[in-house]
Amino acid sequence: MNSTTVRSLLVRGMLAGLAAGLLALVVAYFLGEPRINAAIAFEDSHSHEHEMEIVSRSLQSTAGLATGVLIFGVCLGGIAALAFCFALGRVGRFTPRATAVLISGAALLTVFLVPFLKYPANPPAVGDHDTIAKRTTLYFLMIALSVLLAVAAVILGKRLAPRLGAWNASVAAGAAYLFAIGLAYAFLPAINEVPADFPPTVLWQFRVSAIAVQLTLWTAFALSFGYLAERVLTPRPATSAAEEANSESDTAARTAASAG
């Protein structure tokens, strides 16, 4: 794949990420923001200290949310497009659309879902301010482990394929990945800083909304980028385009003649 094609796919990946970010923004606003407001109300009712607001809540929930989600979508779209360029033709004989879906599904699983199950997202009022650095480090460590183990599983599957066959090799590699993730879950420290009287429904709904945002983002990206990538990599033959143009001109000529 030449540099011009990679550049074209990168641009389309960022555009697809932007479009996916717009859809994810809608989900985040209507599903996530009400739960954040409920968590903030709980925090205010249990705190006697009132810090001065540097950025208003209304700005955070509108322009701030939009900026964060859209930039996140564009960045992930660009990274996923580069991963697509590397994976196309190397992970199997898949079409561009199928490869885009595969890359998006793998990203959703390894970058979000696996770390989320160990260290789920929490709304405001959940978590000790003194452990922010520790929690952030553990979360990014879990992401790094998940991605590296997934890459190792793919390599293992490709090496086992000649002896076991593609299906059995894939099952074995997947089992090895799950086993390694299970060990990571067991040895990394657990974090549970949810206040005893925090509404469990708000916590559950907030985490479901976080999953919904990521699911929307990656599904929309897979579909839009797959379509754009296919148009770049499998362009319409010039002969068919010329035939279509001739057909359109003939139709216009017949229409003009009948009108005359």
Structural domain boundaries of the chain?
1-43+59-126+195-234, 127-193
Give the model's pLDDT for residue 77: 93
Give the model's pLDDT for residue 131: 85
User: Considering the entire predicted model, what is its pTM?
Assistant: 0.84
DSSP state of 237: P
Instruction: Report the chain (260 residues): mean pLDDT per 10 consecutive residues.
Output: 86 95 95 89 70 71 89 94 88 85 94 95 82 91 95 91 89 95 95 86 94 96 94 69 55 52
Which residue type does 112 have? F
Q: Which of 138, 146, 117, 114 is nearest to 207 (CA)?
A: 117
Give the model's pLDDT for residue 149: 95
Give the model's pLDDT for residue 4: 82
CA-to-CA dists, residue 45 to 39, 54, 89, 123, 249, angstroms: 10, 20, 56, 15, 72
Give the model's pLDDT for residue 9: 93
Give the model's pLDDT for residue 153: 93
